Structure formats: C-alpha cells, structure tokens
Structure 1
Amino acid sequence: MKYFLIFALSIGFYQVSLSQEIKFDNPLAEERADPWVHKSDDGTYYLIATVPEYDKIVLRKSETINGLKDAEEKVIWTKHEKGVMGHHIWAPELHNIDGTWYIYFAAGEAENIWNIRMWVLSNTSKNPMKGKWKEEGQIKTSIESFSLDATTFEHHDKRYLIWAQNVRGGAHGTGLVLSEMESPTKLKGSEVVITEPELSWERMKYNVNEGPAVIKHGGKIFVSYSASATNHNYCLGLLWIDENADLLDINNWHKSPGPVFYTNEDLKRYGPGHNSFTTSKDGKTDVMIYHARDYKEIKGHELSDPNRATRARVLKWTESGFPDFMQNEGD
C-alpha cells in the first residue's frame, strides 16, 4: 500500500464550485442507512438501503433522484425466522448484470446474530419492483469469517467483488478484500486485502474499513470506503489505482492519508459514510449518495439509533483528477 502526502495537497486544487447547480431535497429518505442508488439504462433510479429494524430489504423507484423522497417503498424480501439470513440484514446493493437483477446483502443468523456473511438474491424481471426474488445463497470466501458490504464492478471485461471482512480475527476489525468473480454469485482466484484500518481515523472505537463504492474517472479507479464506528466518528477514506494496473497487486493501490469526508459540526453533518455513486439525469454530473445524522449525541449503542438518513450531493473533481467531496459545503 502506498500513502501519498501529495494527495492532501492535490485536493486543494478545486474546480471553481461556489454553488451547486443541482439541488437535492435532502434528506431523501429518513431512517435509511447504507444507501445504494442504481440508475438503470432507461434512466430510472432505484434506492435500496438498510432499515433500522434490520429485518427486511426495501426498494424504491423514481424517474428522478429527488423523486425517491416520496416514492412508494416496497418490501421485496424478509429475514428468515430461523438459521442463516435471520438477523442483521445490512447494506443491500442492487445491480443489473447481463439482464438479471442481483441484490448483495449481509445477514447474521437468527441464533448467532454476529455470524454475519454475504448473501445474494436474484430476479429476472425487467422491473426489480416486480417478479420473484430467488435466494442464490452465500458468497463463499477463502476465509470463513465476519464479512459484509459486498459491491461489484466490471473492468476490462472482468467482474470483481470488493467486500469488508475480518481477515485477521478478533479486534483487528475489517479490511477491504478484492477478488475476481467467476459469476455474479461466485468468486475465483486470489482474494487480496487492499486496505486495513491502520490509521488513527480508521480506528475510532472500532477498527473498521467497510462500505466500498467504486467510481472511475480520468484513467483511475477510485474506491471510497467508510471507517471507524458508526457514530460521529464515521467517515470516508479513499483508495485509487491506475485503470491499466493489475487490480490484484496490492502494490498498485494508493490510500489517502486522512479522511476525505467526515463530521462537520458547523453544518450539523455527523458521521457521514457508507456511500454510493450515481449520475444526474443527463449523465453529465456525478452524484454521491450517503447517510449521516444531524446530531452528535446518541443514546445507547450507535447501531440502535435509527436516524441515519439518506442524502445526496454533487461530486466535483479537482484539477488533478481526484474526487472533491466538498467537506466544508452543505448539500
């Protein structure tokens, strides 16, 4: 892993952005964490996210991002009463691969709620709000351990999966692992750890790297990820790699020395994280979807607090080709 202090300087060369041309009706969804927005080929937006009861998967659709706010929400899958997929239904993502819809999500067992693994649903209906969702089973990894937050992307005619996993056991926490996929439900080849929580801002209360999201720009592949506990310490870090480099060689990956998006008390934005990326209706503007709270103090455990809300904001790019998360600007 390479750390570049020059990254801290590069984010200072912002494009002129005194105001955002696109405005969002935030929050887009109250009590919806780990949000993932999928924009289909016909321009329809779908929002899928974690619900505070951790017991089901819900989906919304709209012709616009702002329309997701008042869109009807449908429960498309409910947890099992016993056994696997019986608790902690977390961080679903919706993907369309070769005409089939897939949902990647994390789930614990009803009798062992922290025995969390990655699971897949599929649906061949043209509209993911309709049709029947089939349980495809667990995504098996080489190490059988706590794993979650799977995301998939295609590059140079190969499909990859990035996920968070406890690869060292115990208090070491979760790092991000990358592997090529044999199919939308099966990995193949090596599984490479591309980041672990080594820096102080990744180790606040818990040692966490999770929630990866991929965006390509200017000859690079960027992976944002979330770090630390899901309270006000939650924040985004950034990885990047040249698009022509070997993705499975960890020496080709670079990591930001500090968080790129984090709590801003002046804006009442606390613990922003677990984001996804989409584009504006015309496809010309990148948009970040994320969750945050509007207050700092949490009663009880942070996972028991329901008020992580889904928000959207324009993503700008610096002159040096890096994403500008506009830390000091509101949505």
Structure 2
Amino acid sequence: MTELLTPLIEQRADPYIHKHTDGYYYFTASVPAYDRLELRRAKTIAELPDAERVAVWHKPDTGPFSELIWAPEIHFNQGAWYIYFAAAPTREIKDGLFQHRMYVVSTDAANPLEGEWTEPKQIDTGMDTFCLDATTFTHKDQLYYVWAQKQNGIPGNSNLYIAPMDTPDAIAGEPVLLTIPELEWETRGFMVNEGPAVLIRNGRIFITYSGSATDENYCMGIIWADQDADLLDPKSWTKSQKPVFQSDMDNAIYGPGHNSFTVAEDGKTDMLVYHARTYTEIEGDPLWNPDRHTFIKPVKYDADGFPVFGKPSMLD
C-alpha cells in the first residue's frame, strides 16, 4: 500500500526552498499573520520543520507595504541575497482586487538569517496594477523576472509576464505576456494565473503556475520553451491545455499549488515544493485560514523529458 504524504511544514503557504552552495537549505513562505519575512535554514530538508525561525523584516504599521505580506522567495543573485515579495498599502479593495505591488529587500551577508536587510524597494513593471508572486532565474548569463499581474483590458485577476533584469532589483525592457487565465481549470472561482516557478531541464525552460480560486479548485499548469529559443518572444512558449497537478479528492489533499522547486540532498533529484489543504470546509474568510501546509515530493520525467508530478498525496 502506498504511504500517503504528510505536510513537511504546517501552516506555511506559498513555500519556497533554495539549496545554496554553502550546503544549507533556506526556506521561506507566507506566514498566517502575513506580517513579516521569515527565514529558516538546515543542512537537510527533513530538518527544516524544527529549524530556528528568524524574522528578518517586519511590516510597518502604515505605508505602501504595510499589509498582507505575501509569497516571499529567497534568491541568491549576482553575489547577494534577495527576498522578493508582494505587499499591499491597505486592505481596501479596488476593482475587486487588493492593491498589492512587488518589493525586494537584500543583504550581502554570507548567512542571510544574520544579515542586515535593506529597506523594501518596489519593482516597477511599468504597469501600476495589482501584481505579486515574483520569481527569478538565470539562463545564458541573463537574469529574468517572472511574475503575475493584472493588465487592464484583459479579463481576470492576473496573467503571467517575463522580463529581463538590469539588476537583481530592477527589470529592463517591456514586460512580455506569457499566459492568461482562459481555460476552464484556470477560471474556477477566480480567473487566475499566478505563482510561477522555473525548472530548467532536458533542453527546455519549464514554468509551472497556479490557477483558479485558492480552495479545492486550485491547481497547477505548465508552459515551456526550448532552451535556445528567445524567451522574450511569446511564440517561443507552449501551454499545456490540461492541469499537471490538482486536488486528490480520494485522499483528501486539496488545492495543491503555488509551488517551487529544489533539489534533494543527492544533488540530482528534483523536488516539487507546494502547499495544499487537508480539508475543504473553510470557516470564515479563506484569506485568513492558516491551514495551507507545505508538502514536498520528487519530480519524475517522462520519455520526452517533461516533468511528471503525479498526485499531491503520494510520493510516486
């Protein structure tokens, strides 16, 4: 009988794990209070749940980044540590959306848990609209920024965009639209493409992302481009017409998504990091429900070199 997965870390949504050259795994995620940037590190993935939690930045009481600190990611870019995150000025809603914008803080400390972090700097995309869920990756010596943003004139809450970066805290050039929420499984409850994560394997650039409302309808899709293609040409990208990771109703793992990727201790096995819930009857405002838990499982590949994620409840 296949053993069912249990959470790696409870009550941590939007999880991100970075394995660094110093041999440590660095973990960050949205905390239930949405009020800080929290880091922990450990020599193994299994040690992360019990590792010391360090709040490296707290939100101020007022100002443009004083509410709802969402989806932090920690990256080591060009010799320094950067945490990319989204924050809102207030809980006021405009046009049906929170008013999140994207920010970054940085430190040049060897150990980011001990570093002095800069004040948040906004990442300006040229569109003054709701945006969140930024990630970065380097390919052929170029640093890229991928994120979710609302574009006026396009139905839905957010689309995915890519842009080259001039520096790790500023993009260069116009945002390029990669995908919009248009398929049935991307538009259940809300029209959403968000939470991009990048995996470079087998001659391709894969970007997974999440769609639909953040309940049991939440699921993951994927787009990909050839590694030698122009990543800033929308025609280089192909979109799966079906979700690649979704709720396992039989085994009570619901709404898997907002993933990231890391590598196992063997340095070879790719690992899928994601959040999911273990029940569907959410009481009160789902935004404040803390029970999205961090899970992790190995990634497999099919004969054509595409990642296969299986079920969110099982290792295989």
Aligned CA distance change for structure 1 residues 249 and 306 (closer, same or farther; 3 Å): same
Q: 1:52 aligns with which of 32, 45, 49?
A: 32
Structure 1 residues 328 and 91: CA distance shift in structure 2, 3 A: closer
Aligned residues of 2:39 and 2:54 also touching (Cα < 8 A): yes
Q: What is the CA-CA distance between 1:259 and the residue it aligns to?
A: 0.6
| Aligned counterpart for 2:152 among listed residues 133, 158, 168 | 168
Partners in 1 of 2:274 and 2:75 — Cα distance?
Answer: 17
- Select which of 96, 115, 123 maps to 2:76: 96
Paired residue for 1:320, among 301, 304, 313?
304
Structure 2 unmatched runs, 5+: none
Partner secondary structure for residue 265 of structure 1: coil
Match of 1:106 among 76, 86, 101: 86
Distance 2:88 2:259 in 1: 22
SS of the aligned residue for 2:173 comes to: strand
The CA distance in 2 between the partners of 1:111 and 1:124, in whole Å, is 33
2:261 aligned counterpart, secondary structure? strand
**SS at structure 2 position matched to 1:134:** coil
| 1:127 and 2:114 aligned | no
- Matched residue type, 2:274: Y
May I ask how many residue pairs the two structures share in their alignment?
311
Identity, in percent, stands at 47
- Distance in 2 (CA, whole Å) between partners of 1:264 and 1:137 is 39
Q: Which residue of 1 aligns with 2:274?
A: 290
Alignment TM-score, normalising by the size of structure 1 = 0.90
Matched, 1:197 2:178: no
The correspondence for 2:67, drawn from 87, 93, 116, is 87
Residue 19 of structure 1 deviates from its aligned partner by: 7.6
Correspondence list, 1:32-51, <5 A: 32-51=12-31
Structure 1: give runs of 5+ residues left out of the alignment.
1-17
Q: Compute the displacement of 1:42 (Å).
A: 2.1
1:267 alignment partner in structure 2:
251
- Encode CA deviations 1:97-140: one digit per residue, 9 max, x unaligned: 12210000000003647210000000111001101111241000
Alpha-carbon contact 1:83-1:111 (below 8 Å) kept: no
Tell me the distance in 2 between the aligned counterparts of 1:133 and 1:28.
28
Q: Secondary structure at the match of 2:74?
A: strand
- Contact 1:231–1:271 at 8 Å: present in 2 too? yes
User: Matched residues in 2 for 1:196 and 1:300: separation?
Assistant: 29
CA distance in structure 2 between the aligned counterparts of 1:48 and 1:156, rounded to whole angstroms: 27
Secondary structure (helix, strand or coil) at the match of 2:221 reads strand
Give the SS at the match of 1:53.
coil
Does residue 148 in structure 1 map to residue 141 in structure 2?
no
Aligned-pair distance for 1:169?
Answer: 5.3
Q: What is the aligned-residue RMSD (CA, Å)?
A: 1.8
Report the secondary structure of 2:48's partner residue.
helix
* Cα distance in 1, alignment partners of residues 12 and 313 from structure 2: 22
Distance 1:329 1:256 in 2: 22
Structure 1 runs of 4+ aligned residues shifted over 6 Å read: none
Distance in 1 between residues matched to 2:61 and 2:153, nearest whole Å: 28
* Alpha-carbon distance in structure 1 between the residues aligned to 2:82 and 2:273: 20
